[in-house]
């Protein structure tokens, strides 16, 4: 089952061109929803204004080579490894969900556009990655929903409590991957009625996921790397988004400038900037 293309059998009833048209429509919904979200929240306007403000307060000039290095670092840390998550369980759950979604979406497009029809046979690895991606998405997503989401010290909620637009994205992901796997299983078992029911629920869930971009957190996956890159540039050019520098309070020169530090903090105070690291991370 894991190496069978689930779209091959159904292509005898639904034309491959119809399935391809549906995929294109979902892509257009994502693009349109993201653009509308940017217009509504004025995200692009904010990023450009904040970048201009940071440049005005820059203490050093950051060249193109340095910015390229920061971009690579952003992709490596915030995008590929999600290093911003202090909680290792939250980080692993996020990575499983993210990479599962990527494999699932990419292989879906490959199977529909290249390997549908009676004379098309997909290499076993592609359907296998399709199933593996959906399974990884389910494991990471359900782990987050039933274990991590309800155990967050600051904003934990019950597993059966729908938290509005913030939950629309993760539920769309979970429903889409879950019904995709159930559709593949019931199709392999030859359960005709259940197969079509699972397929209909799969399509309905995917439509909800990609059609609700404007209202869900889907678009944040595009804004998050941009914000992380902008923050790195601000730290590199010295503007630091108008935040104070992270002083070492045990520095004699700083204590001479602020002589009351030893009185209130002791003669050898710790760097308070890392205070949050002294407790076990139970937050996002």
What pLDDT digit, counting tens, does each position of 144-164 carry?
998 888 766 555 677 777 777
* One domain, residues 119 and 180: yes
Q: Do residues 187 and 6 make contact, with C-beta atoms less than 8 angstroms apart?
A: yes
Region at 241 (left for phi over 0; alpha for psi -120 to 50; beta for the rest):
left
Q: How many domains does the chain have?
A: 2
81 and 128 Cβ atoms separated by less than 8 Å: no
Residues 151 and 251 in one domain: no
In a domain, 30, yes or no: yes
Q: What does the pLDDT average to over 189-208? A: 93
Same domain, 201 and 228: yes
Considering the domain architecture, whether residues 270 and 186 belong to the same structural domain is answered as: no
Residue 113 and residue 215 share a domain: yes
Residue 189 shares a structural domain with residue 273? no
Q: Are residues 134 and 61 in the same domain?
A: yes
User: Cβ neighbours of residue 246 under 8 Å, at least 6 residues apart?
Assistant: 271, 273
Identify the burial level of 218 via C-beta atoms within 10 angstroms of its C-beta, where 0-12 means exposed, 13-18 middle and 19 or more buried. Answer: buried
Contact 5, 127 (CB under 8 A): yes
Number of DSSP helices (H) and strands (E) in the chain, helices first: 11, 0
Within this chain, do residues 101 and 217 fall inside the same structural domain, yes or no? yes
The answer to whether the CB of 166 falls within 8 A of the CB of 209 is no
Identify the pLDDT of residue 94.
92
- pLDDT tens profile 63-94: 888 888 888 888 888 888 888 787 788 899 99
Q: For residues 178 and 64, which has the higher predicted lDDT (pLDDT)? A: 178
Tell me if 1 is assigned to some domain: no
Same domain for 68 and 117, yes or no, is yes
Q: Is residue 101 part of a domain?
A: yes
CB 6 within 8 A of CB 183: yes
Residues 80 and 195 in one domain: yes
Q: Which two tokens stand for residue 215?
A: 């209202």
Is the whole-model pTM more than 0.85? no
Residue pair 122/10 in contact by the 8 Å Cβ criterion: no
Regarding whether 271 and 175 lie in a shared domain, the answer is: no
Question: For residue 61, is it left (φ>0), alpha (ψ between -120 and 50) or beta?
Answer: beta
In a domain, 201, yes or no: yes
- pLDDT exceeds cutoff 60 at 8: yes
Sign of CA dihedral 117, 9, 175, 136: negative
Q: How far apart, in whole angstroms, are the C-alpha atoms of residue 100 and residue 218?
A: 15
Note down the domain range covering 67.
6-236
Is the domain of 181 the same as that of 266?
Answer: no
pLDDT in tens, 216-265: 877 777 777 877 888 888 777 777 666 666 677 777 887 788 888 777 77
Minimal CA–CA distance to 283: which of 87, 79, 58, 110? 87
- The reply to whether 46 falls in a domain is yes
Q: How far apart are CA 94 and CA 75, in angstroms?
A: 15
Q: Which helix (H) or strand (E) holds 95?
A: helix 88-114
Report d(CA 181, CA 178) in Å as an integer: 5
């Amino acid at each position: 089952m894991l190496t069978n293309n689930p779209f091959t059998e159904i292509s005898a009833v639904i034309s491959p061109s119809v399935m391809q048209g549906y995929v294109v429509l979902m892509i257009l919904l994502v693009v349109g929803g993201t653009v509308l979200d940017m217009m509504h929240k004025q995200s692009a306007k904010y990023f450009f204004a904040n970048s201009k403000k940071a440049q005005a307060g820059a203490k050093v000039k950051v060249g193109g080579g340095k910015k390229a290095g920061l971009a690579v670092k952003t992709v490596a840390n915030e995008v590929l490894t999600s290093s911003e998550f202090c909680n290792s369980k939250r980080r692993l759950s996020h990575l499983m969900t993210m990479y599962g979604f990527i494999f699932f979406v990419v292989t879906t497009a490959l199977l529909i556009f290249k390997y549908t029809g009676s004379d098309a046979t997909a290499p076993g690895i592609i359907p296998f990655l399709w199933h593996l991606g959906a399974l990884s998405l389910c494991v990471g997503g359900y782990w987050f929903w039933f274990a991590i989401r309800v155990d967050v010290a600051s904003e934990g909620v019950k597993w059966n409590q729908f938290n509005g637009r913030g939950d629309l994205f993760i539920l769309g992901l979970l429903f889409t991957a879950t019904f995709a796997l159930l559709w593949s299983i019931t199709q392999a078992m030859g359960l005709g009625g259940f197969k079509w029911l699972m397929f209909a629920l799969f399509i309905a869930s995917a439509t909800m996921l990609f059609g609700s971009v404007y209202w869900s957190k889907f678009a944040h996956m595009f804004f998050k790397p941009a914000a992380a890159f902008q923050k790195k540039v601000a730290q590199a050019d010295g503007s630091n988004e108008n935040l104070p520098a992270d002083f070492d309070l045990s520095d004699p020169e700083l204590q001479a400038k602020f002589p009351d530090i030893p009185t209130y903090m002791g003669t050898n105070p710790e760097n308070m900037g890392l205070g949050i690291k002294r407790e076990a991370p139970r937050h996002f």
